[in-house]
Amino acid sequence: MAHVLIVEARFYDHLNDLLLEGARAAIEDAGHSHETITVPGALEVPGAIALAADANRYDAFVGLGVVIRGETYHFEIVAGESARGLMALSMDGLAIGNGILTTENEAQALTRARKSEKDKGGEAAKAALAMLALKDKFAH
């Protein structure tokens, strides 16, 4: 059984609740355990995963959050840099599922977050578990 850390950027509570519901269900349905920690925003998700990886207590990681486009360039920075950080960690050998939504508006985020619709939280958890299986395959 794998132990998965879910790192959530808790900026939009109602949207994060939906992402968490999907991620937790996917991990539990696969027979694994999980813990959840919260960070201030999407930019902090990769750093928290890097810190947690050093503890050697987790087999896989799921990053969750929502970034909605605003009127400034901040959206591009947060969306791009959080994804870049997660990709760098995955290239270092961590099994990570990226569930940080980057949308134009709240309606798009709701559609992607709801378990009954796109279930991006669940998809991110499944991606982390798939990468863990691949990591295990190459380790043996």
Q: Is 34 a catalytic residue?
A: no
Cα–Cα distance, 100 to 68 (Å, whole number)? 10
Cα–Cα distance, 133 to 140 (Å, whole number)? 11
Instruction: Say what the pLDDT of residue 132 is.
Output: 98
- Binding-site residues, please? 11, 42-44, 66-68, 71-72, 98, 112
The mean pLDDT of 77-100, rounded to a whole number, is: 97
Higher pLDDT, 70 or 17: 17
| Structural domains present in the chain | 1-18+26-40+66-76+95-140 (3.40.50.960)
Cα–Cα distance, 75 to 128 (Å, whole number)? 25
The mean pLDDT of 85-101, rounded to a whole number, is: 98
> If pLDDT is split at 50, 70 and 90, which confidence band does 72 have?
confident
The mean pLDDT of 63-92, rounded to a whole number, is: 93
pTM: 0.96
Among 100, 130, 98, CA closest to 32: 130
Instruction: Say what the pLDDT of residue 68 is.
Output: 95
CB 99 within 8 A of CB 121: yes
Count of residues making up the chain: 140
pLDDT, mean over the chain = 96
Catalytic residue among 14, 34, 74, 140: 74
Question: Per residue in 9-46, pLDDT tens?
Answer: 998 999 999 999 999 999 999 999 999 999 999 999 99
Q: Which residues partner with 36 through β-bridges? A: 6
Instruction: Say what the pLDDT of residue 80 is.
Output: 94
Cα–Cα distance, 61 to 8 (Å, whole number)? 11
